A = this chain, B = another copy of it.
Amino acid sequence: MKAAVASGPGGPEVLVLAEVPRPSPGAGEVLIEVTATAVNRADLMQREGNYPPPRGVSTILGLECSGRIAELGPGVTGWQVGEEVCALLAGGGYAEFATAPAGQLMRVPAGIDLVTAGSIPEVACTVWSMVFDNSKLAPGESFLVHGGSSGIGTIAIQLAKAQGARVFATAGTDVKVAACRDLGADVAINYREQDFVEVVKAQTDGAGVDVILDTVGAKYIGGNVASLAMAGRIAVIGMVGGIAGELNLGALMACRGTIYAAGLRARPLDQKAAIVAGTEAHVWPLIEAGKIRPVVDRVLPLAEAAEAHRILAASTHVGKVVLDVRRP
């Protein structure tokens, strides 16, 4: 089968189309004939050699896909060969075929085309698990997401809004700020022009926000804690702004705050299956009701995976950059 593989750690140019062996589904897994996959920031880190796949996982990039079930591994029930699905993967999505544990499959939401469906699993599962399942964002609470125009951000804004939260989003250009507002953000902040802490304080009468979804990391520890409401919760899923930074525990204690940091990829299969099931139960109905619209910046053929990585690195996109695997 064809796959976009990294010829070695390095820049986007190491990604090349190659012929590789088709994987076989193990016990409890299915083989998916991939229609589309999408690029995540973690893919860029893995390509650079900084985010190795968990043991036993394909070294091919790709944390999500859509497609048709081509084969059921031993012990898989409840799915049929030929069904259209999308899936959360620990790797292997940038290829014509990928295997996934059956617990990580989801049906394609009604009204969503199969290419777009390949861009939903990673962001939907991440936002649902971090913001709702763990941080318990509740109706009437306030929510801040950094990078509101990213794949994560576009789903987070819409999901929080659909759940009845007041939504704050930060972004780095006026075009992105406008996109955040279009998606439902009540307050969209251009962080190059305004201090998000000051805007949050001013817009909440000094109270702060209840939940923050953060992809920046070290650089924003102080600002996030300063933006937190009493009993507020910070969920860290990325560290594009550095790994280690100063935490003022006095400030965290003053708001009885929580900082939680986690990813999806390294979790045990039972946890991933629970997150996938929860996401399908809670997020899919909102997509099908038109309350959440998956935002696709553009669709490129798999052969242009390198270009897709350049686009994500340049960060001029809004929403997801999708790779159509059937287009060579």
Contact = CB atoms under 8 A, between A and B. Distances in A.
A245 B236 contact: no
A199 interface: no
Contact of A253 (B221, B257, B261): B261
A259 interface: yes
Contact of A252 (B250, B252, B256, B259): B259
Interface in A252-269: 252-253, 256-263, 267
A248 interface: yes
A250 B256 contact: no
A221 B247 contact: yes
Given A257-B260, A259-B258, A260-B258, A243 B236 contact: no
Contacts of A245: 246-247, 249
Quickly give the copy total for this chain: 2
B257 A248 contact: no
B246 A250 contact: no
A247 B250 contact: no
A217 interface: yes
A256 B249 contact: no
Secondary structure of the A contact surface, majority rule: mixed
Contacts of A258: 258-260
Contacts of A217: 249
A239 interface: yes
A1 interface: no
A236 B249 contact: yes
A253 B246 contact: no
Given A236-B253, A253-B236, A248 B259 contact: no
30 contacts: A217-B249, A221-B249, A236-B249, A236-B252, A236-B253, A239-B249, A239-B250, A239-B253, A243-B248, A243-B249, A243-B250, A244-B249, A244-B250, A245-B246, A245-B249, A246-B246, A246-B247, A247-B247, A253-B263, A256-B260, A256-B261, A256-B262, A256-B263, A257-B260, A257-B261, A258-B258, A258-B259, A258-B260, A259-B259, A259-B260
